[in-house]
Each structure stands twice: as structure tokens, then as C-alpha cells.
């Protein structure tokens, strides 16, 4: 019983509320239930930044379970190697989601190899955020799923970009 209580206490310190980027969701996806299993869901390599540094790295294992890499892997060189390995298709390798603490505005930044390297090694990370490896979509248009939830309702919204990823007339943000 003590283990269950400790888990409940530690999870209560990780709220899933608020607008913008809610990084605690990945911790809940990683947690195991009483049968020592968690949800089988595919997520891209996801690094949670807290206090200007990478704090947690979540990924989907070959078995379909959400796993968390050791702190040893949170070095910029390891992140760069993993995120830029086997990049095909578009020039996008990763994106960073953050919510400004003062304004509450959420931004998404897309990175090619050069800007990703600059983000990792040179840029100060002011706001906490989520860095995710870009996964090429099955089609020619990028797709994003946004979730809004409360204890009584879950709304999932799938949005497809009107512009093709290969259309060089437009910037990454269009």
C-alpha cells in the first residue's frame, strides 16, 4: 500500500492542466499500471526541457511501450546524433514547442540541421518546452493532432497543412 500511496503523491505533483504545452503528459504515458504495463502508443523522440536544460527523453520502444532514456543520453551530442540519423524527405529534423511564462503564448519552431545544431549548442532556452524529432508524414502534407481535455470531455483535432512539405516556394511555417 505504501508504494501505491507514494506513486499517487508523486503523480499529484505533475498536473495535467493549463493551456499551451503540458509536458507532464509524457510522464503519465511512461508510467506503468498495476500490471507493470503502460499504453502502447507511438510518439516521436521527445525531450522535455526544464530550467533551460534537457530533463527527460521519452520514446517508443520496439515493443510499443513508452520508455525514458537515462540522463547520460541527455547530452547535446547524443540528441543531435539521434535526431539527425536517418533523415529523409524534407529538411525538417525537429521542432520545439514552448509557452512563454509571461505572455502565455505558445510557439512552435521548426529546425533544419543547421538551425537544430544552433538550438542545441548556442541558443539560450528561456522557456520550458518540448523538443520532438520530426517524423515524415505518410503523405506529402504535414499533420498535427491537438488534444483538449477536461475530466468530462476529450476533444482531438487533426489538422493537415495545405502546403506540401516539398513545396520550396513556402517557408517551414507556411
Model confidence pLDDT, tens digit, residues 158-172: 777 777 766 666 665
Q: Which residue would you say has higher pLDDT here, 2 or 39?
A: 39
User: At 137, phi and psi to the nearest 5?
Assistant: -70, 160
User: At 102, phi and psi to the nearest 5?
Assistant: -85, -45
pLDDT one-digit tens code per residue, 104-162: 888 889 898 899 999 999 988 878 888 989 877 777 777 777 777 677 777 778 777 77
Record the cell numbers describing residue 95, joined without a space.
521542432
Q: How far apart are CA 20 and CA 110, in angstroms?
A: 17
Indicate whether 96 pLDDT > 60: yes
Record the cell numbers describing residue 152, joined without a space.
468530462
Q: Of 50-54, 101-105, 111-115, which gets the smallest average pLDDT?
A: 101-105
Angle between helices 76-84 and 113-121 (to 10 degrees): 160
DSSP state of 76: H
Overall average pLDDT of the 43-60 stretch: 89
Q: Are strands 153-164 and 129-133 parallel, antiparallel or unpaired?
A: unpaired
pTM of the entire structure? Answer: 0.73
Record the cell numbers describing residue 125, joined without a space.
532556452
Strand order in the sheet with 46-50: 66-68, 53-60, 46-50, 129-133, 94-99, 106-111
On whether the CB atoms of residues 68 and 56 are closer than 8 A, the answer is: yes
> How far lies 79's CA from each of 31, 45, 54, 129, in Å?
23, 9, 10, 15
Record the cell numbers describing residue 29, joined without a space.
504515458
Q: How far apart are CA 89 and CA 140, in angstroms?
A: 10
Amino acid at each position: 500500500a505504501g508504494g501505491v500511496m507514494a506513486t499517487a503523491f508523486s503523480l499529484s505533483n505533475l498536473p495535467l492542466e493549463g493551456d499551451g504545452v503540458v509536458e507532464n503528459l509524457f510522464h503519465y504515458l511512461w508510467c506503468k499500471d498495476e500490471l507493470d504495463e503502460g499504453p502502447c502508443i507511438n510518439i516521436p523522440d521527445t525531450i522535455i526541457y526544464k530550467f533551460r536544460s534537457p530533463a527527460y527523453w521519452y520514446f517508443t520502444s520496439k515493443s510499443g511501450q513508452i520508455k525514458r532514456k537515462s540522463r547520460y543520453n541527455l547530452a547535446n551530442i547524443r540528441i543531435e546524433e539521434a535526431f539527425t540519423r536517418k533523415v529523409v524527405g524534407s529538411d525538417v529534423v525537429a521542432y520545439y514547442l514552448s509557452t512563454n511564462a509571461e505572455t502565455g503564448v505558445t510557439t512552435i519552431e521548426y529546425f533544419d540541421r543547421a538551425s537544430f545544431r544552433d538550438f542545441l549548442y548556442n541558443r539560450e532556452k528561456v522557456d520550458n518546452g518540448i523538443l520532438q524529432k520530426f517524423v515524415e508524414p505518410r503523405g506529402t502534407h504535414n499533420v498535427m493532432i491537438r488534444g483538449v481535455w477536461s475530466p468530462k470531455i476529450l476533444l482531438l483535432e487533426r489538422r493537415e497543412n495545405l502546403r506540401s512539405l516539398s513545396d520550396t516556394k513556402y517557408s517551414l511555417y507556411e
